[in-house]
Amino acid sequence: MIENINWYPGHMKKTREMIQENLKMIDLVIEVIDARIPISSRNPIINDIIGGKPRVILLNKMDLADGRENDKWAALYKSEGHYVVPMNCMTGAGLSNLLSLLGKIQEKRNETLGRKRNLRMMIVGVPNVGKSSLINRMIGKKSAKTGDRPGVTRGKQWLTLENGMQLLDTPGILWPKFEDPSVGLNLAFCGSIRDETMDLATLALELIKVLQERYPQLLKERYKLEELGEEGLDTMETIALKRGFILPGKRIDYERTARTVLDEFRSGLIGTITLERCE
């Protein structure tokens, strides 16, 4: 069942231990989250481990999210005492703002300590949220493996930036159980949980239900629908008919329809969408 999404491989336990072991050497934590799901993509385990350590919350994939919601979430996290930088780690948009902020943090820290030392940072986040793409942008070359599949990065990597700052990359980490079923769904919608572990047709149907409620116009425009169905399944079947996803015997190809909807949501083709709104 989709409601019981539960994915916590052994390497995630090791990642948690790695973060705990290295935290004492770190001056600053960069927490990468998905701007489309600013709550669901924040791992409560990371929050517990890091505690009061200074933190930059990087709202990645800002271009895929609703711009008005990006501003609201940034304001909220700033009010909680965090640094916040909206960014697109794939294109590098927002990188100059991040590097400028890190320079100011290092300068302020050195003034407080009364000596110069390059900033040591740790990057954390859930799988497939953009950590490796961020690192590639920060160090100016491709040294960290990247991929659109969660769990590509394994093991600890210390990297040095051109300005001398040091960066510790950690693999993506989820938590043992999602107390709120919507959290697991949101992570699955955005690709932070492997598609192979769930029924894609059911997952896409759940996404269509959410979009039908919150972004009906975008759904109609993308799939050229005059009206949405009374139920999510009706809309899904209409999308299949519009796209010609029909199997022999005039049966709906739910699998192909599901992959199309999920892929087009994840790539921003349906529109700029934020699934968790800042109330």
Query: Where do the DSSP E strands lie in 52-184?
Result: 55-60, 83-86, 120-124, 157-160, 166-169
Q: Contact at 8 Å (CB) between 253 and 245?
A: yes
SS3 for 238?
helix
Average pLDDT of the chain is 87
**Residue 11: per-residue pLDDT:** 56
Nearest to 201 by CA among 237, 161, 238, 152: 237
User: From the annotation, which residues make up the binding site?
Assistant: 60-63, 128-133, 172
Q: Where are the domains of the chain?
A: 2-169, 199-266
Read off the pTM.
0.85
Residue-wise pLDDT tens digits, 73-108? 999 999 999 999 999 999 999 999 999 999 999 999
Residue-wise pLDDT tens digits, 191-248? 988 888 889 999 999 999 999 999 999 999 999 999 999 999 999 999 999 999 999 9
Nearest to 125 by CA among 52, 34, 216, 197: 34
In CATH, what is the architecture of 199-266? Orthogonal Bundle (1.10)
Q: How confident is the model at residue 124 (pLDDT cuts 50, 70, 90)?
A: confident
- The CATH T-level fold of domain 2-169 is Rossmann fold (3.40.50)
SS3 for 276?
coil
Domain 199-266 in the same topology as domain 2-169: no
User: From the annotation, which residues make up the binding site for GTP?
Assistant: 60-63, 128-133, 172
